[in-house]
Amino acid sequence: MNANMRLSVIVVNWNVKDLLHACLESLYRETSLPLEQFEIFVVDNDSSDGSVEMVRESFPRVHLVANKENVGFGRANNQVLDRCKGEYILLFNPDAMLIDDGIDRLLTHADMHQDVAIWGARLLNIDHSLQRWTGGAFPNIKNIAGHYLFITRLLSYFGKTQSLYLETDVETDVDVDWVSGACMLLRKEALDNKLFNDDFFMYGEDMELCHRVKNNAWRVVYTPMASVVHVQGASMKSQEGDILLSSLKGLRSFYTLLHGKNRVWLVDFITILGFGIRWLLYSVLGLLTRKPHFAEKAASSLSYIRITQKIVRQDRQLNNL
């Protein structure tokens, strides 16, 4: 670790060239650190939209790694861990943009709390409304059912719940089990030279990392001190097949890692039931209102039912081998 290097930033990109450009601009803009005290790595997962060429031309100071295949989020971050010289490492999505001096706020806050290994920032939609999947509790049957069956959202209005995802905005720091890898500040000394588990292609690896760090007596904290505008799922909109499966597979895989396979069938049932309720609700609303976004949500819910069924079939095939 370089004593003068405060921060190493890792951005993993796949086919979101314009958003990546805005992301990198925000990283340089929203910090008062001198250039010699922070570094940025972009790991591109075989984009076909000119992302690599854009970075080379517009951001010559960025350390660029251009993969010849999509190796996934976790492995792409792992590729450059040993090159990071900063005291802190910021994992940042290419579809995210820092606002209001976000880097300075995060670093100042982290310096004041030396027992915290991982910080998650406040993720906002484009209209600056809160994204609830910023962080939360490790998955169990109770909070998975609460999330997919709308129970937790109702209970959040009456008091604190141990929810899978943060349900409401907060004004002070909150100790959580995990925070989103979309914006994750890491204390490098807490990593023990290991970042993500390569078994997770995309989604779930942030939970596994937080679980490992917490087991080593470090804290994981969500803070509203820094805000990030996150165009959630931008690159996922153009992905199909096994990559799209990962959006549900990650949570399921981490649940299995924590609790074993004995009750994973119940996770699958709750997931299908939850998306079934959403499909029915949005279909009815679409018919009554004729608004196209309800039809889109109904179609999306149906696709996730099929994805979950595909995951179950794949799991059964592996178990029969």
Cα separation, 258 vs 139, whole angstroms: 8
Q: Give the end of a domain, one of 232, 260, 289.
A: 232
Q: Are 152 and 161 in contact (CB under 8 A)?
A: yes
Whether residues 64 and 197 share a domain: the answer is yes
- Residue 1 in domain: no
Q: Give the end of a domain, one of 232, 267, 287.
A: 232
Q: Give the end of a domain, one of 216, 232, 248.
A: 232
User: Which residue type, as a one-letter code, is found at position 233?
Assistant: G
Domain total in the chain: 2
Whether residues 60 and 201 share a domain: the answer is yes
pLDDT at 274 over 50: yes
Residue range 159-177: mean pLDDT, rounded: 82
Q: What is the pTM of this model?
A: 0.89
User: Helix, strand, coil % (nearest 5) of the chain?
Assistant: 45, 20, 35
Q: DSSP string spanning 10-61? A: EEEESS-HHHHHHHHHHHHHT----GGGEEEEEEEES-SSSHHHHHHHH-TT
Residue 130 gets which letter from DSSP?
B
Tell me, what's the pLDDT at 6?
96
Higher pLDDT, 246 or 221: 221
Residue 177 gets which letter from DSSP?
S
| Percent of the chain whose predicted confidence (pLDDT) is above 90 | 70
Whether residues 42 and 188 share a domain: the answer is yes
**Could you tell me how far CA 48 lies from the centroid of its own chain?**
23
- Residue 2 in domain: no
Length of the chain as a residue count: 321
Tell me, what's the pLDDT at 58?
97
The residue range of the domain holding 127 is 7-232
C-alpha neighbours within 13 Å on the C-beta side of residue 135: 26
Residue range 140-156: mean pLDDT, rounded: 82
Tell me, what's the pLDDT at 241?
47
* 3-33 confidence digits (pLDDT tens): 689 999 999 999 999 999 999 999 999 999 9
